[in-house]
Amino acid sequence: MIKEKRLNNKIIYFIIFIIVIILLALLVKANLTLKDEFENSDTIIFLGNEGIAPILYNEKGRAKGVAVDIAKALGKKTGHKIEVRGVDWDEAQNMLLLEEADALLHINPNPEREKIYDFSDELLESEFSIFIKSGNISIKKVDDLKNKTVGIESGGYPYTLLENYDGINIEIITDWQKGFQDVASGKLDAIVVDRWIGEYELAESRVKGIQIIDQPIEFQYSRIAVKKGNKELLSLINNGLKEINEDGTMAEILSKWKEKRVIYLTEERLRSTFLYSIIIVLGLILLISLYWINKLSKLSKKLESDVKQRTQELHNSNKLLRKANAELEKISMSDGLTTIPNRRCFDVVFQKTWDISLKEGKPLAIIMIDIDNFKLFNDTYGHLAGDQCLKSVAEGIKSIIKRKGDLVARFGGEEFVVMLSNNTEDGAAMVAEDMRMKIESLQIKNQKVDSVITISLGVAATIPRDDMCPYDLINWADKALYQGKEEGRNKVTRFRSLYNNF
């Protein structure tokens, strides 16, 4: 009987021991799960293009660069752990769409990307420039890249940028050093890339015989992209960017560019909790579980309240943004100095008018205009007088245009362009002569050349055909303009007469 009782007690002790072991194992697993969830929820994963030093690159398995330091600074301001990975750029974009990461660093917006991403406020200025072989005089601007072989990075903004220009042969570059060597040897005609990246790569690789076209194709500010609809993360990033710009952190990163280490205490706290939970007795298991449930419940309620508040704030902000965007769109189509339409506006209207003229078989005329001796005027009287001269010339040209559908725009610098729909070269030449006389009658003194401000005008017209490029018409007018300047300035030159002389 005694032996049987002892046996029963051993069995009971063994069962209790097994239960305690199982409960401790469950406790360990629960704490590990909570630890993982807490860390994952507190960590923001940024992906960047691994091949764009000094913006972002990998060194000994770690992501480095200006964008990396900015991301770490954002982590400091927002209280989140930041993980930055440098990967293949196409792979990075796919990983974000698959929600394997939270955001993309240093990406330029375009219409296609705006369909799938939401973009932060401005991050870094991008100056997309053309790199060519030294002494290559055949390429001076982006239009000269037609029928040329141009190298670009895979998945980058330059690909979208060059798609707007017909006839450019695009080649993907996987090794920048080899790419620049191919330009120097003539295998590639040019490379289009962010100027900062290109110059850094040239300095690192020491490739010689490369020059940069002074006039960039486009200026842009890169952004941080999140998956479409992730408004909470986007708001967090924008608030962080605002703080590091206002407190000088951004300026310090850009000027000094040295790695900054971000220290977090959350991991240490989790370890302490984990170690403590292992040694607690069975009676505290329930209390710890209730503690975490209560804490997470409060956190969930607080997060829900914050989300509702931010949703309302975003709703109000979106109203203001829509109104501001409408104003910005209007401003972006006008020249800030002369208030007439700018080059961007002209390109849009010209393409539409070309398509209509092509469909209806009607003529279309272009007048290219350049202010004579403007640099001398600017050097003599100063930039303020030069700005006033540009305004006066713009107003004078605009005063001659009466018909609906015609357009006067500032083409760049001291150049203007006039589009005359349904007009022949003869008719356009008469309008150009009126403009020439109008500007001359303004009697704007130019002491440097002992005369008044005058303009030279090149006129060209055609009936568009399917086999023609719209910018051929602009080039014809431009050739006529510069022929007129070579022949003494202050005159109207017609492309037809110039062509007949060839």
Residues classed as catalytic? 414
Residue 389 makes CB contacts below 8 A (sequence gap 6+) with: 371, 374, 377, 444, 453
Crossing angle for the helix pair 383-400 and 425-441, to the nearest 10 degrees: 140
Question: For residues 450 and 2, what is the distance between their CA atoms, to the nearest angstrom?
Answer: 131
Sign of CA dihedral 24, 28, 29, 31: positive
First-to-final CA distance of the chain: 128
Amino acid at 22: I
Length of the chain, in residues: 502
300: amino acid identity, one letter: S
From the list 156, 147, 151, 158, the residue with the least C-alpha distance to 132 is 151
Structure tokens at 299: 């956190």
Report which secondary-structure segment, H or E, holds 26. Answer: helix 2-42
- Which of helix, strand or coil describes residue 21? helix
DSSP string, 110-165: -HHHHTTEEE-S--SEEEEEEEEETT-TT-SSGGGGTT-EEEEETTSHHHHHHTTS
**Using N-to-C axis directions, what is the helix angle for 231-246 and 66-78, rounded to 10°?**
100
Residue 339 in tokens = 């208030």
Residue tagged 């100063």 (tokens): 382
Output b/e per residue, 173-210; b: 16+ Cβ within 10 A. Answer: beebeebbbbbbeeebbbbbbbbbbbbbbbeebebeeb
**Integer Cα distance of 220 and 340 in angstroms:** 23
From the number of C-beta atoms within 10 Å of its C-beta (0-12, 13-18, 19+), residue 159 rates as middle
CB 183 within 8 Å of CB 133: yes
